[in-house]
Amino acid sequence: MDIAIDDLTGETFNLQTFRDLYDRGEFVMNGRPPQAQYVDDCGSNKGCSFYVGQRGHKQLNIYEKGKQLGDPESGHTRCELRLYAKRIDLPNDVLRNPGKYFAGSYPMLAAYVVGEAERLLTKEQMVNASAKAMVRFLRNQAGTALNLVMDALGDDAVEFLMEHVVRDGRPGRMKNVVGDLPALVRAQLQTIPSQEAA
């Protein structure tokens, strides 16, 4: 069972918050600290991760979700608790009251369970990161080629691109988004400053 809380801006918590909590001994239970591992993205801006606990029992994974989705400036951080039924029976109640189990796994986590997350806001943040990544990909991978096509064909460039380049479907990172995806993407694209879109 995975239970996650998100800080969409990184203002309440971030990866360093949990590293500091670990260093202060806040994860110690039964007199011993659980195993911990920090995975650095080595400057790639694809997002770092910090693991507390062990697979197969109880593991907390804190990672830079916005960066994972392709936005290197994002502060979006996810704190995900993984509970395994290997050593204990997980009751059905964990599905009805996930916050209670999240808060109970390590005492200091109770401070971060403040209510139900708004799914729409989380979806908008994920689409925002994906839209920025899509623009960055187009600029880096095809920007000069598209510029040349537009210079060569002028007013006919859009029709040519629609006929020979554009294809049906959604980018892989947006396949599971429900609702009016074009409207969500349009709203996010309109917020990208001109220097990012240029």
Q: How many residues does the chain have?
A: 198
pLDDT in tens, 106-151: 878 878 776 544 444 455 666 667 778 888 888 888 889 999 999 9
The DSSP call for residue 137 is H
- The answer to whether the CB of 170 falls within 8 A of the CB of 181 is yes
pLDDT value of position 159: 92
Mean pLDDT, range 29-49, rounded to an integer: 91
In this prediction, residue 105 has a pLDDT band, given cuts at 50, 70 and 90, of confident
Q: Identify the CA nearest to 174 among candidates 132, 141, 119, 130.
A: 130
In tens, the pLDDT along 47-57 reads 999 999 988 88
Whole-model pTM: value is 0.61
Confidence of residue 181 (pLDDT cuts 50, 70, 90): confident
Q: Which residue has the higher pLDDT, 31 or 179?
A: 31
Label residue 3 exposed, middle or buried (CB < 10 Å: 0-12, 13-18, 19+): buried
Token couple for 163? 């006929």
Tokens of 84: 């395994």
Percent of the chain with pLDDT over 90: 39
Say yes or no to pLDDT of 28 above 70: yes
